[in-house]
Amino acid sequence: MLTRRSFVAAALLAGICPAFGETVAASDPLAILTAIYTRAAKGKGDGGGAFIIENKAAKTKYLSKALIALWAKADTHTPKGDVGPVDFDPVTNSQEPDVKSFKLDAEKMEADKATVAVTITGHRNDRKPTDLIVRYDFVREAGSWRIDDIRGASDGEAWSIRKMLTDSLKS
């Protein structure tokens, strides 16, 4: 029988223990991004967030089925030996990751879609303010939230992972 004491203990454990935190993260876009950026900010903050796209297993964990399929199609369209259409770390919007801290802003939260803006603060101050904001579009698939697009700006020019992948299929 579940007593109030064991329920409170389980709830506390879920907030303290990383293993339990992982389960909670899968159901909340803010928790997913908090985990991603906490990992990206570790140490000197130069590890980046490319771990979310580094292989098929990582993509399956973080990305929507539609985005994974589009990415796979773009990869097969890329000539052997060439760099694919995404040649930077979209999580840090950079070639040289620099994450000291971050702030999340839930811009839109619906039952099956969400958009969250992440503002990155780096150790260096060598980037335009617009380049420090990365937006994530989430969709709910089979009860879990998945990233369906990552958007930002580089030197003031807007970019979108989904658009980059789609455009790469046209050339």
Instruction: Give pTM, 2 decimals.
Output: 0.82
State how far the Cα of 28 lies from the Cα of 34, in Å rounded to an integer. 10
**Quick check: 68 and 162 in contact, CB under 8 A?**
no
CA separation (Å) from 84 to 42, 61, 74, 77, 155? 27, 21, 8, 9, 21
Partners of residue 153 on adjacent β-strands: 158
pLDDT for 141 equals: 95
Question: What's residue 15's pLDDT?
Answer: 43
Task: For the chain of 171 residues, list the mean pLDDT of each consecutive stretch of 10.
Answer: 39 40 60 96 90 94 96 88 86 93 96 97 87 97 96 94 94 71
The structural domains of the chain, with segments of one domain joined by +, span: 4-168
What residue spans of 44-128 are helical by DSSP H?
56-62, 65-77
Residue-level pLDDT at 63: 97
Q: Which CATH class is domain 4-168?
A: alpha beta
